[in-house]
């Protein structure tokens, strides 16, 4: 039995904490252990980093210095989205397999560059889309691969989140279009609800570890949150090469946070994930397949990544599959043409636990009516919605938007 894999982590704050907890679980299982940490903001986490230093973990301020000096087996990247490309490519070129936090990149060209570097190096590069390891996603993938639902025609996903002003004030990049020469594109589609679109593309492809390939995209992106440059609400229709049509509806402006909702419609049956349950209905018979539907964790992704290194196991989310996700995301912005402002009568600013949030009073109802017909809010004639054009993303390789108002 080999020694645990030594992991060097770039980014201690934010999702770095999630990786820390996952690595603590990995250490108990004898699979991996935290070996080094690079964190630029040493003052904010001084006491915690000091504790890790006492445990023998090497602490760096400069991530490039860490890669040059530390002797590790895996590099984990848990930094903001706009930093992923440089860090992942540098780590791969230095000879390290990389596990990167989701999303891999916000532009298709960055995802392509990262995938090309991984292919050239011959090293694994995985993305921490931990919900791919959840019970519901795995069962849905199996049902579709086995043909249990028949030919899958439609897959819908609804994300109803609530993000107050503090969410946008927590970091300099939050809600931003770009920082310096790097795109951030920080809205629900690329950040908090990127999981949902990724899950839908994954479910739509029967092969293990693969996403469906987007062909056509029609989408409208909206904003009422005054602190954001990017969208706070996204409505996206995707036609895939594999056949299923996807309807992705996500917002940060629901009155409360709710779990993901999914609906998969096939010629032989329908599967629904709601309130953490997976329910399949066929010929009028209803069967509950899971009561812990969305239970995937980052430690599951680490286990899979380590088995990929030791036993050539297919990754849940390899970097080259993220090219397909980026095509769908970038295509949505191209189709929308801009981030469309929501007129004031259709939203309100409300106090929430000592903070303020932007809320669309009818958004949950609008989204669920869209799901029933598998259409966008504009097709439903929602008064705040804007009609948009369909775009072909089959050959999309570069996306370079100018501004949020001229995507």
Can you give the residue ranges of every domain in the chain?
5-129, 131-294+319-392
DSSP assigned state of 320 = G
219 vs 13, residue with greater confidence: 219
Q: What percent of the chain has pLDDT over 70?
A: 100
Q: Is residue 1 scored above 70 in pLDDT?
A: no
3-state secondary structure of 107: coil
3-state secondary structure of 79: coil
Whole-number pLDDT of residue 407: 85
Same fold, 5-129 and 131-294+319-392: no
CB 345 within 8 A of CB 357: no
Q: Is residue 37 scored above 80 in pLDDT?
A: yes
In Å, how far are 136, 142, 322 from 271, measured between CA atoms?
10, 12, 25
At the topology level, CATH places domain 5-129 in Rossmann fold (3.40.50)
Q: What percent of the chain has pLDDT over 90?
A: 95
Q: Is residue 4 scored above 80 in pLDDT?
A: yes
| Residue 402 confidence class, pLDDT cut points 50, 70, 90 | very high
Query: Shortest CA distance to 187 belongs to which of 275, 96, 113, 248?
Result: 248
Taking the C-alpha atoms of residue 297 and residue 289, their distance in angstroms, rounded to an integer, is 19
Whole-number pLDDT of residue 34: 98
Q: How many Cβ atoms sit within 10 Å of the Cβ of residue 46?
A: 12
Whole-number pLDDT of residue 293: 85
DSSP assigned state of 253 = B
In Å, how far are 32, 33, 60, 115 from 81, measured between CA atoms?
25, 25, 21, 16
CB 211 within 8 A of CB 325: yes
Q: Is residue 224 scored above 70 in pLDDT?
A: yes
Q: What is the mean pLDDT of residues 85-103?
A: 98
**pLDDT tens digits for 120-144?**
999 999 999 999 999 999 999 999 9
Q: Is residue 297 scored above 90 in pLDDT?
A: yes
Q: Is the whole-model pTM more than 0.95?
A: yes
> What's the maximum distance between 2 C-alpha atoms anywhere in the chain?
64
DSSP 187-249: STTTTTTHHHHHHHHHHH--STT-PPPEEEEEEEEEE--TT-SS-SEEEEEEEETTS-EEEEE
Q: What is the mean pLDDT of residues 306-310?
A: 98
Q: What is the mean pLDDT of residues 376-387?
A: 97
Q: What is the mean pLDDT of residues 294-307?
A: 97
Q: Is residue 361 scored above 90 in pLDDT?
A: no
Q: Which helix (H) or strand (E) holds 38?
A: strand 32-38
Q: What is the mean pLDDT of residues 350-368?
A: 95
Kindly indicate whether the domain formed by 131-294+319-392 is annotated with CATH number 3.30.360.10.
yes
């Amino acid at each position: 039995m080999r020694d645990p894999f030594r992991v060097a982590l770039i980014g201690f704050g934010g999702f770095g904490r999630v990786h820390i907890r996952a690595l603590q679980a990995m250490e108990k299982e004898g699979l991996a252990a935290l070996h080094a940490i690079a964190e630029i903001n040493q003052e904010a986490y001084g006491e915690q980093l000091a504790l890790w230093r006492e445990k023998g973990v090497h602490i760096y301020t400069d991530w490039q210095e860490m890669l040059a000096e530390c002797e590790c087996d895996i590099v984990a990247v848990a930094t903001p989205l706009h930093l992923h490309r440089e860090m992942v490519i540098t780590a791969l070129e230095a000879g390290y397999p990389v596990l990167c936090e989701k999303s891999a990149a916000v532009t298709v060209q960055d995802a392509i560059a990262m995938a090309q570097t991984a292919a050239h190096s011959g090293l694994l590069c995985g993305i921490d889309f931990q919900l791919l390891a959840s019970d519901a996603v795995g069962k849905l993938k199996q049902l579709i691969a086995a043909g249990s639902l028949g030919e899958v025609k439609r897959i819908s996903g609804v994300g109803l989140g609530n993000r107050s002003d503090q969410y946008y004030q927590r970091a300099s990049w939050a809600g931003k279009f770009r920082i310096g020469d790097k795109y951030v594109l920080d809205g629900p589609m690329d950040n908090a609800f990127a999981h949902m679109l990724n899950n839908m593309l994954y479910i739509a492809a029967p092969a293990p570890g693969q996403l469906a390939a987007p062909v056509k995209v029609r989408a409208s992106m909206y904003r009422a949150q005054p602190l954001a440059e990017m969208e706070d609400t996204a409505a996206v229709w995707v036609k895939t090469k594999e056949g299923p049509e996807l309807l992705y509806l996500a917002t940060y402006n629901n009155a409360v946070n709710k779990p993901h909702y999914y609906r998969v419609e096939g010629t032989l049956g329908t599967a629904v994930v709601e309130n953490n349950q997976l329910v399949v209905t066929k010929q009028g018979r209803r069967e509950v397949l899971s009561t812990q539907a969305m239970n995937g964790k980052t430690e599951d992704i680490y286990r899979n990544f380590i088995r990929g290194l030791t036993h050539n196991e297919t990754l849940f989310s390899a970097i080259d599959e993220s090219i397909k996700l980026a095509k769908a995301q970038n295509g949505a912005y191209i189709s929308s043409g801009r981030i469309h402002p929501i007129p004031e009568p259709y939203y309100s600013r409300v106090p929430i636990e000592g903070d303020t949030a932007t809320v669309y009073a009818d958004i949950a109802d609008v989204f669920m009516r869209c799901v029933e017909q598998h259409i966008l809010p504009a097709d439903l004639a929602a008064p705040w919605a804007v009609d948009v054009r369909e775009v072909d993303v089959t050959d999309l390789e570069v996306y370079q938007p100018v501004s949020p108002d001229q995507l």
